[in-house]
Amino acid sequence: MTKRRMRLGLSVANFGYHYAAWRLPESRNEADHDIGHHLRNAEIAERGLMDFLFFADLAVVRDVEHPTIRRDMEQSHLKLEPSLVCSALAACTSRIGLVPTMSTTFNQPYNLARRLASIDHISNGRMGWNLVTSTDKEEAANFGLSAPLTSEQRHARAREFAEVVRGLWDSWDDDAFMRDKVSGRYFDRAKVHFLNHEGTHFNVRGPLDTARPPQGQLPIITAGASANAQELAAEVADMVYSAFAHFDMAQNYYASVKGRLAKYGRCPDSLRIMAGIMPIVGHTREEAQAKFDRLQDLLDPRVANGMLLINQFPDMSAYGPDDKVPDMQVMDIHLTAARDPGVTARLMERARREGMTMRQLYAAVSAGFWHLGVIGTPTEVADTMQTWFEQGAADGFVVQPPYLPGSAEDFVDMVIPELQRRGLFRTEYEGRTLRQNLGLPVVPSRYAA
């Protein structure tokens, strides 16, 4: 029996996941628009035998004067469109998978299916799709909407959207094109299929003007902890991006999503649950802590306070970094579905109990609040990952480097060898396609005999 192994992705968020990463002296000023920066990260991930690069996306520049988004104002507004980045990287890499974020709320199925199938051909089968249902009000305004769609509307649209995209990817049989110059037959007309989809949200004739992708069906990744998001994942996803800082919450989520699969005729191994992890790695714990402290020293207090506000902490902008955390109530506002409403309250209570300063509270949130954060040696990071992997909290991890490319190199050079030594991660790629490397089965065309 083949031993179960972790799957690993590298999430590329411009300068990195820490909000002061762009201020490091070694950070490249134009990393957000430099394809060379993305290529270097891809080369690091490929050297580490990682499964894929992941590109989050939000098509908006927010109101940069609003205090709750001050954390975003420096580094995360500017970005290249992720599917085009993946297209460029596809021509310059050979094994790493490529997963851009593309919204079902602000796209049309035909355009998206065509683009992703094209890049799957360019990459020889290394493309995936992070399917999101967009919830941001300011992003919605860029697409003619006065407000985001409701959860029910978003997920109903997404379900039908995925159905249409998958149907379009089956437009042509794998052997439809004979390209016979002697007979003059370019393709077998019996092996092209018109979708003729007529649904609630979309009417799409098809067929796609691109041959069936090398993978047949591209792997789809989703996220979200609401009941609607979990049902969508159980029905259509090959991977789920899980975002929890605490083991028990991640374990409960893992069991909940996996428990929904049977309803859709799927087995637990058909879906990979990938936990977000931000590792800060050093040869010693002191070295790792020094790397984190260096970032924290560059964190603008205004940005830090904005980071607290979006996580439902009270407005504490009147307090300086060395002031004690005041005795204030947590904000009673909407929480994203992936977050436990008690986490913020528990941290505020801990801050009061331990007499934390504001600087210490900033550090507690920066080190891992909505995702798993680990500061330590390769052994300590690997211990945490192994526990989550073996005790039902994750099938793998999406690594969120605090700064790029340095912390990605640290992970590849220090943590991955430790995972390999334990037999938890591959020592060579198993296949040529993203689907093969993820251990996902080939999906035959719906029109196959």
Q: Nearest to residue 402, comparing CAs of 368, 376, 429?
A: 368
Can you tell me the mean pLDDT for 192-201? Answer: 98
Please report the pLDDT score of residue 329 as a whole number.
77
Report yes or no: 283 and 410 within 8 Å, Cβ to Cβ: no
Q: Nearest to residue 281, comparing CAs of 176, 175, 417?
A: 417
Is pLDDT at 366 greater than 90 in this prediction? no
Is pLDDT at 397 greater than 90 in this prediction? yes
Q: Give the span between the Cα atoms of 333 and 339, in whole angstroms.
A: 13
Q: Give the span between the Cα atoms of 208 and 360, in whole angstroms.
A: 54
446 phi and psi angles, rounded to 5 deg: -65, -15
Can you tell me the mean pLDDT for 407-436? Answer: 98
Q: Give the span between the Cα atoms of 389 and 424, in whole angstroms.
A: 9
Structure token digits, residue 393: 């909290």
Going along the chain from its start, the domains and CATH numbers come out as: 7-437 (3.20.20.30)
Poorest-confidence range of 110-114, 175-179, 348-352, 435-439? 348-352
Q: Encode pLDDT of 246-301 as tens digits.
A: 899 999 999 999 999 999 999 999 999 999 999 999 999 999 999 999 999 998 88
Please report the pLDDT score of residue 305 as a whole number.
83
Torsion on CA atoms 99, 102, 108, 110, rounded to nearest 10: -10
pTM score of the predicted model: 0.92
Rank 161-165, 243-247, 313-317, 352-356 by mean pLDDT and report only the highest. 161-165
Please report the pLDDT score of residue 340 as a whole number.
53
Q: Give the span between the Cα atoms of 305 and 87, in whole angstroms.
A: 37
pLDDT band at 71 (very low <50, low <70, confident <90, very high): very low
State the DSSP string of 292-337: HHHHHHT--HHHHHHHHHTTT----TTS-TTSBPP--PPP-S---T
pLDDT band at 65 (very low <50, low <70, confident <90, very high): low
Please report the pLDDT score of residue 371 as a whole number.
82
Q: Encode pLDDT of 315-340 as tens digits.
A: 888 898 899 999 887 765 444 434 45
Can you tell me the mean pLDDT for 124-133? Answer: 98
Report yes or no: 212 and 171 within 8 Å, Cβ to Cβ: yes
What is the average pLDDT score of the chain? 91
Is pLDDT at 368 greater than 80 in this prediction? no
Poorest-confidence range of 64-78, 339-353, 369-383? 64-78
Can you tell me the mean pLDDT for 234-242? Answer: 97
Please report the pLDDT score of residue 312 as a whole number.
78
Is pLDDT at 123 greater than 60 in this prediction? yes
- State the number of CA atoms in the 13 A half-sphere of 29 facing the CB: 0
Q: Give the span between the Cα atoms of 296 and 277, in whole angstroms.
A: 18
Buried b or exposed e, range 227-241, using 16+ CB within 10 angstroms: ebbbbbbbbbbbbbb
Report yes or no: 16 and 407 within 8 Å, Cβ to Cβ: yes
